[in-house]
Amino acid sequence: MADVAPGLRCTRCGASVARTRHTRSAWVVGHYVLHGGPTEEATVRRRDDEAALTYRRLVEPVLVIACPACFREPAVQRRWVTFGEEDAA
């Protein structure tokens, strides 16, 4: 199967996931990927005369993959939208 994303499986159900397929007028999503995990505050300054930029840096990346079937479920979509919020409280 040429459209299977090598080595990627749905985190929830364990199914192999496909690559996203593109055509001239549309695309078919093969899987969804969420990059999350613990974060910490970090600061960067590009030049001496620029203001510092503070952002959240991913400390230990966690890759969450969802197949289209699992992603259609409302509970999975709610979890996706709120991923990491419990750590912010």
Report pLDDT for 5: 66
* Model confidence at 32: pLDDT above 60: yes
User: What is the pTM (predicted TM-score) of this model?
Assistant: 0.65
* Model confidence at 70: pLDDT above 60: yes
* 21-28 mean pLDDT: 87
**CB contact set of 36 (below 8 Å; sequence gap of 6+):** 58, 61, 62, 64, 83, 84
Encoded amino acid at 23, one letter: T
Report pLDDT for 1: 43
Q: What is the C-alpha to C-alpha distance for residues 62 and 9, in angstroms, rounded to an integer?
A: 14
Confidence of residue 82 (pLDDT cuts 50, 70, 90): confident
* Model confidence at 10: pLDDT above 90: yes
* 30-49 mean pLDDT: 86
